[in-house]
Structure 1
Amino acid sequence: MSIARGLRHYCPAPPQRRDPMPTAPPSPPTLSIVTPVYGCAGCVEELVERCLRAFDGHERIEILLVDDASPDGAWARIEELALRHPQVRGLRLSRNFGQHAAIYAGLEHARGAHVAVMDCDLQDAPEAIPSLLARAREGVDIVHAQRTGRRDTLGKRLSSWCFYRLLGWLSGVPQDHRVANFGVYSRRVVELLLRMPESERCFPLMVRWTGLPSDSLPVVHAERAVGRSAYDLRKAARLALSIVLSHSDKPLRLVVKLGMGVSLFSFAVVLAAVWLYFSGRTGVAGYTSIIASIWLLCGILMFCVGVVGLYVGQVFKDSKRRPAFVVERETGAEGSLADA
């Protein structure tokens, strides 16, 4: 017993370890600003500064800059801004997936109760976001920025007007060519958009599809700060075709109507030929009319089969269920590879 007491005397028990007081997790941001970045490395810093000045610390905001594999070294600028400003987060996609896929990547990582979506070329004024947010907090789920005084070229404005008129006719839903991606959206809208599994995405059309309460505020459209639009005529036409195939089945119904019209016309021609035969006024069939009829009908048939084939290709693309984008890297998570 004495030996044991001596050992306890010379080897006292280690002091009790006290756990630090638990700290409350940081509050989530009230607003997330999502911006796809492509070809605008020169104006990213100004974009961030103007977003921060627009709120001047009155809101807990985060700025999500999604680098859509920009060829001008935008990712290095985004990492630098993320180190300088705690409100900035960056996502780098593994390749160029397109503007709308980049927007969805930002939406999936956004944590705010409201999400603002805007382009990175500063044609969308960050100073308009507080007004859009204030209107959204009045109970409106979707608040669009309606562009006034557009600074685009005449050709781009005309093509935009024609496209939205055509799309409105095909889809049966009126479209406003002055409304694009810029706006503020509630968390309910964002959750609905993230549940849509389409491979071909068009952000403003899918927002309008939700049918939730919406409003629009006029916002002055500014000059493009740097670079030029990545949508040339070929890319714009390809995007328009993909959007029409993904959001409207009216071309298929038009093909059916065309087929019915050709059939009725052919039936009328047959009746006329039979009547001429029995009336004794049948002449020798002309070679030109026969060849012309064959080529006309073959052309119509090939056109109809091509339209159906485009829709079959769209179904095949959706059936593969591939992710719409792949995030190669995030600021603060080096080397991570995640897809969504």
Structure 2
Amino acid sequence: MDKQASSLSVVIPVHNEVENLSLLHQRISAVMRNMSLEYEVVYVDDGSTDGSFALLQRLAAADCAVRVVRLSRNFGQTAALAAGVAHSQGEVLALLDADLQNDPADIPRLLTKLEEGYDLVSGWRRKRRGDAWLRCLLSRLANAMIARAIGVPLHDLGCTLKVYRRSVFAHVPLYGETHRFIAAYAALAGARIAEVEVVHHPRHTGRSHYGLGRTLSVLLDLLLLKFYDSFATRPQHLVGLPGLLALALGIFFLPVALLMTCLHTGRSRRCHWSGPLLWGAGCCCSFGLLSLQIGILAEMLMRTYHESQGKQPYIVRCTVSGRESCQCW
């Protein structure tokens, strides 16, 4: 292992997986014993109610490499991952699920790929086991949409099994349900990403916490990701341009509608288009003005967000001078 991968933190979010934890820890320990590096295993109990925390306490008492973080309630997988990252110490982090569908034996291959100069190596569950065909189909469609929308050449963004350099998380938001898009956000920040095929097992025991109902959530998160990619620093361009178009249409058709109304006032035969045209022109003007106002407010919020926290609209990978080279990413 190189210097940057001299220590490893394996981070695992846990929610009601008491039947899987013992076997999972045995597999992780067997893999880690065959690797010549310092490591820790960080289990994050995300509000389990089935005795998972008690079992994790016993694992921590028996293995000094185990660290357990217990959340006060069930906050969701993204929050659990964020807590695990915050309480980990390794320079490289490996993330996987606790349901035994990810295989810890794949971690060394991901680390080997990481040493080739990548910042993030993602697992690819090419042959998914135990998942319904409809769920697999929707997953493939969602991954294809995301890859096409933001240009991330990955087949399986939803696979939790990934290895990261710690510096990646300085540029990736971890809130809401963004755990599905960690690789995508990292790519937008300029991270070097690779993909390795991994084994996917059927669920050993218990039931899946994910259903088809999350498909809509993924689409909404994709819209947010696209906004983050294209308009995060210029939101006025998203709402302002349609607003200007609507305002221009309203200004053009409003005099026409008023003229038609005046010409047919007092006549026995009225123009049936004057009313709807007048109403439509008014709506266009209102929508345009409202969009421009929203765009201005969004711009003010964006500038306040960056300036109050000292955030820059760029990320420096490294600086080089005649005397030294400083690696920053």
Aligned residue among 138, 145, 169 for 1:193: 169
CA–CA distance in 1 between the matches of 2:153 and 2:251?
39
Larger Rg: 1
Pairing 1:1-340 to 2, within 5 Å after superposition: 30-59=7-36, 60-151=38-129, 152-164=131-143, 167=146, 172-174=150-152, 176-180=154-158, 181-186=160-165, 190-194=166-170, 199-200=175-176, 201-202=178-179, 203-232=182-211, 237-238=216-217, 241=220, 244-245=223-224, 248-249=227-228, 252=235, 253-267=237-251, 269-270=253-254, 284-286=271-273, 289=276, 293=280
Q: Deviation string for 1:159-191 (max 9, x for gaps)?
A: 444544555566x443635133321122xxx14
TM-score after normalising by structure 1: 0.65
2:108 partner letter: P
Instruction: List alignment gaps of at least 5 residues for structure 2.
Output: 310-329
Distance 1:148 1:162, change over 3 A: closer
Whether the 8 Å contact between 1:43 and 1:122 is mirrored in structure 2 is yes
Which TM-score applies when normalising by structure 2? 0.67
CA 229–287 in structure 1, closer or farther in 2 if over 3 Å, else same: farther
Q: May I ask how many residue pairs the two structures share in their alignment?
A: 286
Distance 2:101 2:285 in 1: 48
Instruction: Return the offset for 1:82.
Output: 1.6
* SS of residue matched to 2:74: coil
CA–CA distance in structure 1, aligned partners of residues 85 and 285 of structure 2: 47
Compute the displacement of 1:96 (Å): 2.0
**8 Å CA contact retained: 2:243, 2:289:** no
* Identical amino acids, percent of aligned pairs: 27
RMSD between aligned residues: 4.4
Name the amino acid aligned to 1:207.
A
Residues 86, 240 of structure 1: alpha-carbon distance in 2 compared, 3 angstrom cutoff: farther
Letter in 2 for 1:106: G
CA distance in 2, matches of 1:111, 1:311: 37
| Kept after mapping to 2: 8 A contact 1:67/1:75 | yes
Unaligned runs of 5+ in 1: 1-27, 322-340
Q: 2:111, 2:163 within 8 Å by CA — same for their partners in 1?
A: yes
Give the direction of change, closer, same or farther, for the CA distance of 1:243–1:184 in structure 2 (3 Å limit): same
Q: Which amino acid aligns with 2:116?
A: E
Amino acid at match of 1:263: L
User: 1:79 deviation in Å?
Assistant: 0.9
Cα distance per residue 1:231-266 (max 9 Å; x no partner): 445556456545644772558544334323433443
User: For 1:247 and 1:38, how far apart are their aligned partners in 2?
Assistant: 30
CA contact (8 A) 2:13 2:98 kept: yes
SS in 1 for 2:78: helix
Q: Which has the higher contact order (CA 8 A, sep 6+)?
A: 1
Query: In the superposition, relative to structure 1, how do residues 35 and 304 fare at CA in structure 2: closer, same or farther (>3 Å)?
Result: farther
Residues 207 and 177 of structure 1: CA distance in aligned 2, closer, same or farther (over 3 Å): same
- Report deviation, 1:123: 1.9
SS at match of 2:198: strand
State the Cα deviation string for residues 84-132 of structure 1 (Å, max 9, x = none): 3333221111122221221122122222332111111122111111111
The answer as to whether partners of 1:44 and 1:120 remain within 8 angstroms in 2 is yes
